[in-house]
Structure 1
């Protein structure tokens, strides 16, 4: 029997007030489509305070799960976050083709606050992933080449590569064994894990008996969606094209929790400080830049860019970007610079 949600009508009214308060921000992030070719990437973050949002995050989201282990055709285990060694910027068939046409097309998000979203005042795409995409383009493209940012939904990331709609995807995409069957990944550029995001007044404490009969939302074909389907629980599942849609469903009172990774949740808490993460991280995941299998020269080139971008503790563009976009919305020490991992 489905558990009755107490005060659903009143909760809906309270959340509607939050929607109104955050209307300008949401209006700048819910559009789904493609940017005009040659769209520029503006510098700097949007204004806004972070103290209330930081307080809403859980204080110690230490992963309790082990990283996924893959197996090759012979059954030999390997780390999915390992990628080919970086190569010198000497070109190759894929990189040469990109420069011959004079543009690099990168699939990105425009619905993830602080990661990839439309800045309300300018309408431009900004965020942690957007800054990384610009750094890759600056290195890969010959002088005069254009960066094209193409917004794609969560469920279209692999298909956008398969259909040659984009050259790569920089869109908070977790490296998994299943995805490695369809795409090639760079070395990791961020580590995170799946967790539940709920209103601060919620009685939900994690993916346990407290979600019995409630509705948990996730983005279609996301790691969160797969994790919810493979784990035992008594929640009802809801899927939407993007995880921001799930946040709106909670604000409207039509869902009780959102499953996403704690890194993306930082953006949700920044948008709506009445939300908080609960329970332990259920997975250990790494984000990677996704490319087509066979585009080995591009993968190695991107890995070289990432090595320079991540840098070291004394010189790290990655750290600068993290401090600009994310550090105020994650607990201190929750995230560190990723370590490159190679398989050859």
Structure 2
């Protein structure tokens, strides 16, 4: 995938080819989507490093309360206008300006959102550019950002202990998370769906019963899958890129994540497709320390500017056009 969010980079093509060579060496081949299905052991060694197999759980499928049930998507209204570089003393914004950079938690394996651009070697994507817009409004300079690579396990602790100022990482606003951290208004509406190989016969969540499904720990995707389809066997991998490889090696029958994340995986393999309707809505928000009310209001001011001046639509067209034409930006929802 190129730095512009379209096409295939040489590195990603090489990954797909390398997987094919490895499988050929073990007597397996991909075949065409219309060809015979590949047979493997239950998962087939070797599993990705750090992967866990979660057996089916007992119980009937159920749904979860939406984030609106506790008003988790309601945030604080933007604060008064500020001059870049000159922030009110004594608060988180003054601390960030004194430090000289905004520190933001992202990852490097969510294609289209925050990934390592193989051409430049830099972190790039929709979320990365949202973070740069916040830095632009703080400093007048979008480059004054330090991106820290954090996985889903330690991103909240890093926010809570002050190691990072923000999480901008395709993070879904949930009632549970809103008890621990603060969120901006919704900056992107996603929906959890299913990714499969073309011709798989899987068309929706009901078809995942008895199937092997890949997702990532400590995500709403895993929690939703276990609740909505408890009869699935789960391969929980450390990254979404590991799920891509597991699908390509036929170690799993499907992967599930937000449609925005699945689009980034599908863009790397022409034999993959997103199927079925929405399992759950996934409203994305910027994560902020719950004590930093001033910073919450400031971030919401940046998001308001991005909606009104066309920046949001520009970034959507740049990175997420694979999902179709840009929709209207999410309307803000405030509780004060």
Instruction: Give the structure-2-normalised TM-score.
Output: 0.76
Residue of structure 2 in register with 1:195 after alignment: 193
Aligned to 2:297: 300
The counterpart of 1:14, out of the listed 4, 8, 30, is 30
User: Are 1:279 and 2:271 matched, yes or no?
Assistant: no
Q: Which runs of 5+ in 2 are unaligned?
A: 1-22, 32-47, 49-62
Is the 2:211–2:232 contact (alpha carbons within 8 Å) kept by the matching residues of 1?
Answer: yes
Deviation at 1:262, TM superposition (A): 0.7
Aligned to 1:109: 107
Distance 1:324 1:332, change over 3 A: closer
Partner residue of 2:246 out of 244, 249, 263: 249
RMSD: 2.5
**Alpha-carbon distance, 1:163 to partner:** 2.7
Q: Distance in 2 between matches of 1:68 and 1:133?
A: 23
1:285 CA displacement: 2.1
Distance 2:194 2:154 in 1: 23
Which of 302, 313, 316 in structure 1 is aligned with 2:310? 316
Distance apart, 1:65 and its partner CA: 9.7
Contact 2:72-2:175 at 8 Å conserved across structures: yes
- Partner residue of 1:170? 168
Q: Report the secondary structure of 2:154's partner residue.
A: helix
Whether contact under 8 Å (2:103, 2:146) holds in the other structure is yes
Unaligned runs of 5+ in 1: 1-8, 16-29, 31-63, 72-78
Aligned length: 277
Q: CA separation of 1:135/1:145 partners in 2, compared to 1, >3 Å: closer, same or farther? A: closer
The answer for the alignment partner of 1:52 in structure 2 is: none
Separation of aligned partners in 1, 2:123 and 2:290: 28
CA distance in 2, matches of 1:227, 1:336: 27
TM-score (norm 1): 0.75
Q: Displacement, 1:67?
A: 4.1
CA gap of 1:279–1:142, structure 2 versus 1, over 3 A, is: closer
Return the offset for 1:212. 2.6
Q: Deviations over 1:3-41 (max 9, x none)?
A: xxxxxx8996218xxxxxxxxxxxxxx9xxxxxxxxxxx
Cα distance, 1:109 vs structure 2: 2.0
Q: Rate the CA distance shift 1:106–1:14 in 2: closer, same or farther, 3 A.
A: same
Task: Tell me which residue corresponds to 1:45.
Answer: none
Identify if the C-alpha distance between structure 1 residues 304 and 211 changes in structure 2 by more than 3 Å, giving closer, same or farther. Answer: same
